Amino acid sequence: SQTIHQWPATLVQPVGSPLSLECTVEGTSNPNLYWYRQAAGRGLQLLFYSVGIGQISSEVPQNLSASRPQDRQFILSSKKLLLSDSGFYLCAWSDQVGTEAFFGQGTRLTVV
């Protein structure tokens, strides 16, 4: 069966520090991969998606970037964190048909 792993579960980082969140998927090949963010008091917003290695699409302008160095690995990064980057980050995958997404457990990021 397919599983998705996301780490770390919680993270506290100072303003201006770098960020790297990692997500890996097992049990499937060539998945579509997604990063979502849930800011406090708000709904989920799609940040990035990827349909293949090295292929990244950004949905909203922001301080973050994403990379897909391997088929089942998706990384969310920042060179310098802002207070507004705080939130709950969720990684997800779907198959190539893309009619259903499966989510990781999430990373709660607090920028202080």
Partner 1 sequence: GNSVTQMEGPVTLSEEAFLTINCTYTATGYPSLFWYVQYPGEGLQLLLKATKADDKGSNKGFEATYRKETTSFHLEKGSVQVSDSAVYFCALSERAGGTSYGKLTFGQGTILTVHP
Site for partner 1 in 28-67 (CB under 8 A): 32, 34, 36, 42-46, 49, 51, 57, 59
Residue 53's SS3 state is: coil
Secondary structure element (H or E) that encloses residue 47, with its range = strand 44-52
Closest distance to partner 1 from the beta carbon of 74 (Å)? 14
> Under a CB-based contact definition with an 8 Å cutoff, are residues 35 and 70 in contact?
no
Q: Tell me the closest approach of the beta carbon of residue 9 to partner 1, in angstroms.
A: 9
* Binding footprint of partner 1 on the chain (CB under 8 A): 6, 32, 34, 36, 42-46, 49, 51, 57, 59, 90, 92, 94, 96-106
